[in-house]
Structure 1
Amino acid sequence: MPTSAHVLKTSEISATPGQKHYLTRGTGAYRRASLALFLSGFSTFSLLYCVQPLLPIFSQEFSVSPAESSLSLSLSTGFLALAIVCAAAVSEGLGRRSLMSISLVGAALLTIATAFAPNWHLLLVIRALQGLVLGGVPAVAMAYLAEEIDPRGLGTTMGLYVAGTAFGGMSGRVLTGIFAEYFSWRPALFLIGAIGLAAAIGFIALLPPSRNFVRRPGFDPRFHLNAWRGHLSSPALPFLFAIAFLAMGSFVTIYNYAGFRLVAPPYGLNQTELGLIFTVYLFGIGASSIGGLLGDRIGHFSVLLFGLALTAAGSALTLFASLPVIILGIIVLTTGFFMSHSIASGLVGRLAHGTKGHASSLYMLAYYVGSSLMGSAGGWFFAVEGWTAVVIFTLAMLALAFVSACLAKHLARRTA
């Protein structure tokens, strides 16, 4: 008997010939799972990125340089990338639902603790721990969806999850900035942590228990290494991992350095006006959901290729001098990126044979390493040749991502 409060009705699941019992689209359990994963994405990314608008405040309050203040974010994302790989292994024994619940509650409590950090070094330690704790959500969430959702509705649910990450990424930045302006940074982080805790409680209350997950007690390093090696030797999956690395790298590069361009003449935007650019994440929310739905209906690889092309078009539009066209380019880029990400992450679950959590962890590892490495490398191009070089750099990455998608499509069809 499941210990969860949710007892699924027979009408809410579908069984395959292999005795898999999936949550089917249109049922209450499917809707609960979709909403729960939306909340998990929202909580994860709002807690992760909430410190970004506070970096100048940290620099002043703790008498640290701007580069040192950025450690409050980069330490979290760095440890998150490391933790994602470990989380897949841990979830095989602990369970998907349990690990995600512990991670969300722990990360929210650590955000609240950050509000009371008496010094800079302790604040960094808490943020690093938060990254480690949050690693239990992204890869495991994808694995849960791939295991429990009817494949015919997986794209839609994955799109809602990615929409939650987009909404959380936007909310964490925008709300923290607003709260800090009217109160101070400590109450701001406390409030963001409280919102994250409420989202975690909603997640626990809504998410149906796993029905297709098989617990693997103990820890066998050879099993996990063989699982990762198996996914890396799969014909199509490595190309999807490459797409995560390249697409996220291009997206972060544009966002990292657009601000430097727009605060300088002839634009001269202030910090408030720059912060409002984060609201274009709303287009990513819609694109994630629509992309997943279209993928279920007209083909996932077709939508993936369209999303990558849209991302490249948005990047190219930012070359124009007109501010409205630049903002339009960022909107198009955001729409294309989140559409691509929702489809590519869903395809990992579809194409992985067994140990889906390990496959998801490799995808998310590539995603965050691309963000870190390529986002930093873009700064060199900006310093040497300005914005044109940044756009050429991102277009080169997106061209490689497009080729990777074509190869993944061909190899997936040939394998099938």
Structure 2
Amino acid sequence: MPTSAHAAKTAETTAILGQKHYLTRGTGAYRRASLALFLSGFSTFSLLYCVQPLLPIFSQQFSVSPAESSLSLSLSTGFLAVAIVCAAAVSEGLGRRSLMSISLVGAALLTIATAFAPNWHLLLVIRALQGLVLGGVPAVAMAYLAEEIDPRGLGATMGLYVGGTAFGGMSGRVLTGIFAEYLTWRPALFIIGAIGLAAAIGFITLLPPSRNFVRRPGFDPRFHAKAWLGHLTNPALPFIFAIAFLAMGSFVTIYNYAGFRLVASPYDLNQTELGLIFTVYLFGIGASSIGGLLGDRIGHFSVLLFGLVLTAAGSALTLAASLPVIILGITVLTTGFFMSHSIASGLVGKLAHGTKGHASSLYMLAYYVGSSLMGSAGGWFFAVEGWAAVVIFTLAMLALAFVSACFAQQFAGRKA
């Protein structure tokens, strides 16, 4: 019989469910893992989206159109989408923790390099490389959580991770806007890169080693192709992937071009004021955690559908001419989006049959392709018909996302 001390030590790090050793809520290892993944989300999204408030500056300084200036973000998210698929395969041999650590450090250093880019084309090349490097984080982080966290508390932990992405997205946008106002955009990007490097070091220090991960040495293309095909033939998962594409596409479209609208007359906001609007990401942090908890208690699809409706309502509110109502709309949209994303990303781990890293990679592939393609396409609508066309474009995507969620719920049945 184990001693009470031994039992307490075992409870501190794992709980055995079946034949797997999970990190359980309330233990020190669980708290360290949660904080580490929060830092990874923070670093990834602060580094990825720090250029978003700078798009009007890039357009003016480099003499490019709004749609062209959005390439500094869209190229990163586009290459990130491609890299995520490769990262899932690489992590099977290299390990989740090692790949995430390399990616976070590399992305921070590339952000610092962006601050020294002498021309527009080199800036775009560096941002594209940054997207490739960052691919080692999002899908692998989701896989780590799905493999290591007690399934009964996965929704809450996934919500905390997504909350970290929201906090990073907010911090990158807000701080960059403020620093650019007083120091110009180059020092702003340098500082954001240094903050990302510090977060990467914290992640490496805190994250517990994987306990349920089974390393697969070498690279077997047939294994990976079979794993991805298996998830695509899952009746529910393709609809979850569609939600990622459409919801993220609508969210990024609003954020990309709201800045161009608000720095122009009659609003005439400066970079600091524009950056401060992104503090509404705080609502996304809360919505991610609350959405995960509610999903565990009352049903994931109910919360997912509500989140998508909330996102659409926020998008519609931005049609108003009043600045306070526009900010309210962005707040509501942010709350609904992060609630939806935290639920949808958690459902991937629940609905996938094995090889959860591959399932997560397909979700994140759809997520970032939506960001890249739809985020740039929104620039065409903005240039041709103005803000109303942008909102109609996003509402159409969200309506399709809602229908996809209904189909996913039908096929998922009791598994969700």
TM-score, normalised by the number of residues in structure 1: 0.91
The answer on whether the counterparts of 1:6 and 1:208 sit within 8 Å (CA) in structure 2 is no
Label 1:101 to 1:226 Cα distance change in 2 as closer, same or farther (>3 A).
Answer: same
Question: What are the ranges of 5 or more consecutive residues in structure 1 without an aligned counterpart?
Answer: none
Q: Secondary structure at the match of 1:7?
A: helix
Q: Secondary structure at the match of 2:54?
A: helix
What's 2:191 paired with? 191
> Which range moved further: 271-280 or 65-74?
65-74
The offset of 1:24, in angstroms, is 0.5
The offset of 1:329, in angstroms, is 1.4
The answer on whether the counterparts of 2:381 and 2:389 sit within 8 Å (CA) in structure 1 is yes
What's 1:167 paired with? 167
Q: Deviations over 1:65-119 (max 9, x none)?
A: 6665544333222211110111000001101111001111111122223334455
The answer on whether the counterparts of 2:109 and 2:193 sit within 8 Å (CA) in structure 1 is yes
The answer on whether the counterparts of 1:4 and 1:209 sit within 8 Å (CA) in structure 2 is no
Distance 2:415 2:349 in 1: 15
Question: What are the ranges of 5 or more consecutive residues in structure 2 without an aligned counterpart?
Answer: none
Q: Secondary structure at the match of 2:22?
A: strand
The offset of 1:263, in angstroms, is 4.2
Q: Deviations over 1:299-321 (max 9, x none)?
A: 21111111111111212222333
The offset of 1:331, in angstroms, is 0.7
The answer on whether the counterparts of 2:178 and 2:271 sit within 8 Å (CA) in structure 1 is no
What's 2:17 paired with? 17
Q: Deviations over 1:321-347 (max 9, x none)?
A: 333222211111110000000110011
- CA RMSD across the alignment: 3.6
The answer on whether the counterparts of 2:40 and 2:199 sit within 8 Å (CA) in structure 1 is yes
Q: Deviations over 1:339-383 (max 9, x none)?
A: 000110011011111111111111011111111222233334334
What's 1:96 paired with? 96
Label 1:265 to 1:179 Cα distance change in 2 as closer, same or farther (>3 A).
Answer: closer
| Amino-acid identity (%) | 92
The answer on whether the counterparts of 2:12 and 2:29 sit within 8 Å (CA) in structure 1 is yes
What's 1:316 paired with? 316
Distance 1:361 1:295 in 2: 22
The offset of 1:2, in angstroms, is 22
What's 1:106 paired with? 106
The answer on whether the counterparts of 1:6 and 1:209 sit within 8 Å (CA) in structure 2 is no
Q: Secondary structure at the match of 1:212?
A: coil
The answer on whether the counterparts of 1:8 and 1:208 sit within 8 Å (CA) in structure 2 is no
Label 1:221 to 1:375 Cα distance change in 2 as closer, same or farther (>3 A).
Answer: same
Label 1:374 to 1:209 Cα distance change in 2 as closer, same or farther (>3 A).
Answer: same
The answer on whether the counterparts of 1:2 and 1:209 sit within 8 Å (CA) in structure 2 is no
The offset of 1:270, in angstroms, is 4.1
The answer on whether the counterparts of 2:92 and 2:215 sit within 8 Å (CA) in structure 1 is yes
Label 1:315 to 1:70 Cα distance change in 2 as closer, same or farther (>3 A).
Answer: closer
> Which range moved further: 59-68 or 82-91?
59-68
The offset of 1:412, in angstroms, is 1.1
Distance 2:280 2:6 in 1: 36
> Which range moved further: 23-32 or 273-282?
273-282
TM alignment of 1:190-229, pairs within 5 A: 190-229=190-229
Distance 1:245 1:274 in 2: 26
The offset of 1:15, in angstroms, is 4.3
Label 1:73 to 1:266 Cα distance change in 2 as closer, same or farther (>3 A).
Answer: closer
Distance 1:73 1:203 in 2: 24
Q: Secondary structure at the match of 1:60?
A: helix
Label 1:90 to 1:394 Cα distance change in 2 as closer, same or farther (>3 A).
Answer: same
Q: Secondary structure at the match of 2:14?
A: strand
The answer on whether the counterparts of 1:33 and 1:206 sit within 8 Å (CA) in structure 2 is yes
Label 1:75 to 1:290 Cα distance change in 2 as closer, same or farther (>3 A).
Answer: same
TM-score, normalised by the number of residues in structure 2: 0.91
> Which range moved further: 113-122 or 139-148?
113-122
What's 1:357 paired with? 357
The answer on whether the counterparts of 2:74 and 2:371 sit within 8 Å (CA) in structure 1 is no
Label 1:268 to 1:206 Cα distance change in 2 as closer, same or farther (>3 A).
Answer: same
Q: Deviations over 1:263-297 (max 9, x none)?
A: 45544444443332211111111111111121122
> Which range moved further: 227-236 or 67-76?
67-76
Distance 1:115 1:194 in 2: 11
Q: Deviations over 1:11-46 (max 9, x none)?
A: 134445530111001111111111100000000111
Label 1:97 to 1:252 Cα distance change in 2 as closer, same or farther (>3 A).
Answer: same
The answer on whether the counterparts of 2:52 and 2:256 sit within 8 Å (CA) in structure 1 is no
Q: Secondary structure at the match of 1:9?
A: helix
Label 1:120 to 1:402 Cα distance change in 2 as closer, same or farther (>3 A).
Answer: closer
The offset of 1:47, in angstroms, is 1.1
The answer on whether the counterparts of 1:51 and 1:72 sit within 8 Å (CA) in structure 2 is yes
Label 1:75 to 1:381 Cα distance change in 2 as closer, same or farther (>3 A).
Answer: closer
The answer on whether the counterparts of 1:159 and 1:288 sit within 8 Å (CA) in structure 2 is yes
The answer on whether the counterparts of 2:77 and 2:371 sit within 8 Å (CA) in structure 1 is no
